[in-house]
Amino acid sequence: MNHEINATSQASAAGQTRLTSQMSSPQAAELRGDLARIAQWVRPQTRVLDLGCGDGTLLAHLKRSKGVQGIGVEISDERVLSCVQRGVHVIQQNLEDGLAMFDDQQFDTVVLSQTLQSMHNTEHILREMTRVAREAIVSFPNFGYWPHGWSILLGRMPVTGQMPYDWHDTPNIHLCTLKDFERLSLKLGFSILERATFNDQREVKFLAGWRSTLAAYRFTAERHTLSRTSA
């Protein structure tokens, strides 16, 4: 009887340890809305480059759930350390220096999540993304969100959850609307494959240009028919 109790206690303790480990694991953390959609767009067993990869949450998730071979690029010392702790292969470099260290079409997918608006040379980084990978994915704050316009009418630059900085200390130097990005994509010869728009964690489809705070696009330099987007 005692042996049975001990075995049950040990099994329960082991199960509790596994549960605690899963709950505390960074890989088990829930992805924010745009990263969850980006993860859906990435095909299993492919090569992924994540630019401005932050703490490596997306690449760790993709490695675990889809078996991707991922590399991240990040400038922050603290975030690079977090990537290493997650088992993510990361290169410490400023994205403004370009992607010359990567060969043409070295990756299947390249991701630039919530970083495009802080880049000085927007066109260059987008062209480089389509050079190093067959498909590219970006996400960025939507400046067309209707409270932003209302704030400007009241004489103030908007400060919201997606853009929480004041005008004098913001890293966001190239804000745009959905139509702005789509026009630039057309100018650069890109084909938009899919678009997803969000307000906080909720996906927005109706009047997305006005009601969404964040947009994610999947595109390529190859010629395709525009699909799954709305006005």
pLDDT tens track for 58-107:
999 999 999 999 999 999 999 999 999 999 999 999 998 889 999 999 99
Q: What is the pTM for the complete model shown?
A: 0.78
Residues 6+ apart with CB under 8 A from 177: 142, 143, 144, 209
Q: Over the stretch 196-221, which tens digit does the pLDDT of each residue have?
A: 999 987 899 899 988 999 999 999 99
Do residues 112 and 138 make contact, with C-beta atoms less than 8 angstroms apart?
A: yes
- pLDDT category at 180 given cuts 50, 70, 90 is very high
User: Considering only CA atoms, which of 115, 139, 101 is closest in space to residue 92?
Assistant: 101
The per-residue pLDDT for 8 is 39
Least confident of 1-10, 30-39, 98-107, 163-172: 1-10
The per-residue pLDDT for 132 is 97
Q: Provide the percentage of residues in the chain whose pLDDT is more than 70.
A: 71
- pLDDT category at 17 given cuts 50, 70, 90 is very low
* 226 pLDDT higher than 60: no
More confident residue, 114 or 17: 114
The per-residue pLDDT for 22 is 37
More confident residue, 29 or 106: 106
Three-class SS of the chain: CHHHHHHHHHHHHHHHHHHHHHHHCHHHCCCCHHHHHHHHHCCCCCEEEEECCCCCHHHHHHHHHHCCEEEEEECCHHHHHHHHHCCCEEEECCHHHCCCCCCCCCEEEEEEECCHHHCCCHHHHHHHHHHHEEEEEEEEEECCCHHHHHHHHCCCCCCCCCCCCCCCCCCCCCCECHHHHHHHHHHCCCEEEEEEEEECCEECCCCHHHHCCEEEEEEECCCCCCCCCCC
